Structure formats: C-alpha cells, structure tokens
Structure 1
C-alpha cells in the first residue's frame, strides 16, 4: 500500500464520494460530501495523494487539490475499472480509485493548468461550431431537395442558392415555407460568425501561450495545429 494517506474522489456535480485511506491501508471513512465540504477537507488535510478518475471536472478538482499542496493522481476510468469490486456504487468506485492509484505501472493523467484548459475549451467549441455549420448546411440542402430545388456542394453555392430561393420573385420554394428557410439561413450565418469569432479567440490564446509558441516554431505548425498538439 502507499506510504502516504490517500484521499480518493468519485467526482459528480452535486455530491462527491470521498474515501480516505491511511498509509497502512486502513479505511478511515468513505462518505458522500458536498463540493464545498470536499474543498474544506482538502484545505484542512496535510499533504497527501488525491486520486481521481480523469473524467468531467477532473482538471478543476486537480488544481484545487494542488493548491493545498496535495499530489494529484488522475487515471483513465478504464484503468480504474478492474479494481472496483462488488456492484458499481459511488462508495465502491471511490475505494477502487484509491486502490488503483497505488498499483505499480499505473499511468496517470497530466493535470492541465488554467491556460491549457482554456485553449482546449475554445478548440473543442470551435470544432463544434464547424460541425454545426456543416450539419445545418446539409439540413438546408436536404429540405430544398424535397421541393426539387437542388443546391450543389460548397458554401458559395449554398449562399447563392438560398438567397435566390427565399427571394420574393423566386418560385422554387412555396411562399408558406420561405419564412422557415429564412430562419435557417439566419442561424447558419450566425453560426458562421460565431465560428470566426472563436477561431480568432483561439489564435489570440495560442499567441499568448509559451508552449504553443514553441510548437509553432516547428515546420508546418500553425496556430490551430499548435492548439491541437498542446496536451
């Protein structure tokens, strides 16, 4: 067993299962706590190992634990699963996390600092906007095709066609349905604007990141590529 106290956290939104094991492998307690009480426990505990699964909110709680001098050990859920005995409950999960953190050869997640997490969050949402633009464009094309109005591939073709279809003089679409296509087209344009704004924001963050600056010195690595390579 570990030569230090282990506090394992089974993370959740409203209630966190907290398991504390002493250096001799004895279970001191295993109970559900509110996020605030969990913070208080970490703040008032001597430096120890804080073990968690690398799931939602891991990086936040890892930084909280590190701010109080604790060593954080984050693990992929699939790495923890073999050490969870009996049926799956929050209490059993917390014990399994504590056990897994002591195993030889266990691999641990790198804790992202706030700057790294900000870049990752912007990058994820940039991709989401990009997928949404494609999905919405395909949706508009499919609806037009149902009325025999064909739009070829490409954003330029979509823009030219839909502006024509929703115009008062066009008879390609029924007048009753044109207001709907106007809404869809406005949503498409708004999403494009958001995508461009987020892309600009990502470039600004990358420019301020020292690790990203070093990555951009590599041949062929741009702002977007550096953000993707940053871990």
Structure 2
C-alpha cells in the first residue's frame, strides 16, 4: 500500500482481517498507477457527455433538470421542442454514447459483484466499514 497520512488506519484494519500489509513510499507506487482507465474516469466522462447534452439542449432552447433521469426520456422525438433536424441528429448521437456508457458501467458493476461473492478475500474487504457500498 502507498504510505500516506491516513494509510496506517487502513493497514491496521487489513491486518486485523488477516492480510499482510507492506507500506511503500509514493515514489515506488507511481510507476504502477494507471491514469488512463478507472471507474472515476468513466463516471466523469459520462457526466461530461451528460453535461454536453444539457448544454446543447439549452443552446437550442430546451432546459432539462441536472439529473441522469432527465437525459433518459426521448426528448428528440417531441416536435414541441425547437430543435433542428441536424441538432436532433447530434443530440441523438450524444445520447446514444451516454446510454452505452451507462450500460457498460452497470455491466461492470454486476461483474464485480458476482466475482466478489465467490472470492474470500473480497468478502473480507467488504467487511471494512466505509469500503463496501
């Protein structure tokens, strides 16, 4: 584990659960950090796509709430909204990307949940307060 100010608390929790903990200085951890792919980046990218959809809709005169649920309904087929054909195509493309990312995140969450059910070490980690959600 990377040594930092609060890691000793976590290390003690892991030791209580039977894990062997080794603390490493941050400069030794840096080469192993993968900055191009993780759940937080996926969520941030999806939020950015959602914001782009909201911004484009606002530019076209349609204001929707700042929630994921507001993106899911099919606004594009509603002739009441003053959106051009080209604008509808662009929004439909962005909405498809957003829905695809949502589906990927749900699928990966499900895969992780299924894996952790059958893995003893994952079960031990899930017992740590604040770690499992």
Using the size of structure 2 for normalisation, the TM-score is: 0.64
Q: What is the aligned partner in structure 1 of residue 39 from structure 2? A: 126
Report if aligned partners of 1:126, 1:198 keep a CA contact under 8 Å in 2.
no
Distance change (3 Å), C-alpha of 1:218 and 1:125: closer
2:55 to 133, 137, 142: 142
> What is the rounded CA distance, in whole Å, between the counterparts of 1:153 and 1:212 in structure 2?
35
Q: C-alpha displacement at 1:137, in angstroms?
A: 0.4
| Structure whose alpha-carbon radius of gyration is higher | 1
Distance change (3 Å), C-alpha of 1:168 and 1:152: closer
CA-based RMSD of the aligned residues comes to: 2.8
Where does the alignment leave 5 or more consecutive residues of structure 1 unmatched?
Answer: 1-73, 78-107, 113-119, 225-231
**1:187-225 alpha-carbon deviations (Å, 9 max, x no partner):** 111111001011112223333433321122345553x5x
Where does the alignment leave 5 or more consecutive residues of structure 2 unmatched?
Answer: 1-23
> What is the rounded CA distance, in whole Å, between the counterparts of 1:214 and 1:171 in structure 2?
52
1:175 aligns with 2:88: no
1:186 aligns with 2:96: yes
> What is the rounded CA distance, in whole Å, between the counterparts of 1:220 and 1:76 in structure 2?
23
1:205 aligns with 2:115: yes
Q: Which has the higher contact order (CA 8 A, sep 6+)?
A: 2
> After TM superposition, where is structure 1 displaced by more than 3 Å over at least 4 residues in a row?
74-77, 218-221
The size of the alignment, in residue pairs, is 106
> What is the rounded CA distance, in whole Å, between the counterparts of 1:172 and 1:134 in structure 2?
24
Greater mean alpha carbon deviation, residues 130-139 or residues 200-209: 200-209
